[in-house]
Amino acid sequence: MDSKFDCEKNFGPLPAYSKSESYLTIEKRIEEEHKRSFRQVLYWSLRHPIQAARIYRSLKARENSSEEVIQKWRSFSSFRNYNEQYGRLLAYEIENGYPTLKHYGEILDHLAQRMPLNLLQNAYYPFAGTDFYWARIFKNIIFEDVAYGESRHPNMWWSDEQYGGENLNSIEKLLRDQEIIPAEALVEMRRANSELRNEGQVVNSQEWTLILKGGHDVLSFFKERHSNESVLYGAVIAVSPANSEKNLREGMDLLGYQLHYSSLGAESFVAPFSMEFSKVFIFVKNDK
């Protein structure tokens, strides 16, 4: 590890965000609807166990769900309300000069300053959804999601229109217009099942940084995706992981990674087009 990256610099809170009352109201509703959705799904599943089992198998396999299943998924009020609140959040941003977009950019700049420069060249972001902010700090980035360009998809959070090609392009354009994404950044949106290894995809190497965000189990990803090969990414960035810090650090150590940065109890926030952002861990591959 480069000696200029000292521990005092690499362990500390993320830049603070001054949240307005309007923002706090929207953020609270998003969090409430997110939690309520799990309760609604659980109650419905207990009443309809056979249908529920079929849906869960479909989601796990990233299969195309039937129209019946999609309509049922969309019928839960929490999902509709969740999307509506994100619409309110975007309206708030437009009206107030995009403060949360700019704060997200500040967060990413903060992280970039704490990474070795050679690991800011190429990034791979599976299960990316529409969280295109990360193109701000990498020269070349691949965003990957099974739903890109699909008119219907088995996703419980976003509306179908969110993943349409026209909307994906409009989100990228907005982030570029607001100078969140620099003009020179190279962005690829790749439609693929991120749970499966793509034989033609050479990203598991020292030249690439892996980004996992949105409540994913980082260690399970490696176990399922790279079960028959070594994990070789130059760096791994885990944002809001499902793993406990102790479990994550121990598991990454076994894979040959050293904790390079931790945000230490960062306050969470939500931004348009992206799920909750809270604690961040950056692991760098040990030199051999």
CATH number at residue 236: 3.40.50.150
Identify the CA nearest to 281 among candidates 242, 246, 240.
240
Spatial separation of the C-alpha atoms in residues 85 and 248, rounded to whole Å: 32
Task: For residue 53, tell me if it sits in a domain.
Answer: no
Q: What confidence score (pLDDT) does residue 58 get?
A: 64
Q: Is residue 227 part of a domain?
A: yes
pLDDT at 2: 43
Inside any domain, residue 105: yes
Q: What is the pLDDT of residues 188-205, one digit of tens each?
A: 999 888 877 765 567 999
At 159, list the tokens: 């509306």
Percent of the chain residues topping a pLDDT of 70 = 84
CB 286 within 8 A of CB 232: no
**Using one digit for the tens of pLDDT, what is the confidence trace for 23-72?**
999 999 999 998 888 888 788 888 888 877 776 676 565 555 556 666 66
Q: Is the pTM of this model over 0.95?
A: no
Residue 276 lies in a domain: yes
Q: Is 73 inside any structural domain?
A: no
What SS3 state is found at 23?
Answer: helix
Confirm if 210 and 226 have CB atoms less than 8 A apart. Answer: no
Q: 80: which 2 tokens?
A: 């509709």
- Dig out the tokens for 71 from the structure: 């309509």
In Å, what is the CA distance from 157 to each residue of 89, 103, 219, 228? Answer: 15, 23, 23, 32
**Beta-carbon neighbour count of residue 37 at 10 Å?**
18
- State the total domains in the chain: 1
Domain that holds residue 199: 7-14+98-285
Q: Tell me the per-residue pLDDT of 60-114, one tens digit each, with 9 for 90 and over.
A: 655 555 566 666 667 788 888 988 999 999 999 999 999 999 999 999 999 999 9
Please give the Cα distance from 123 to 139 (Å, whole number).
8
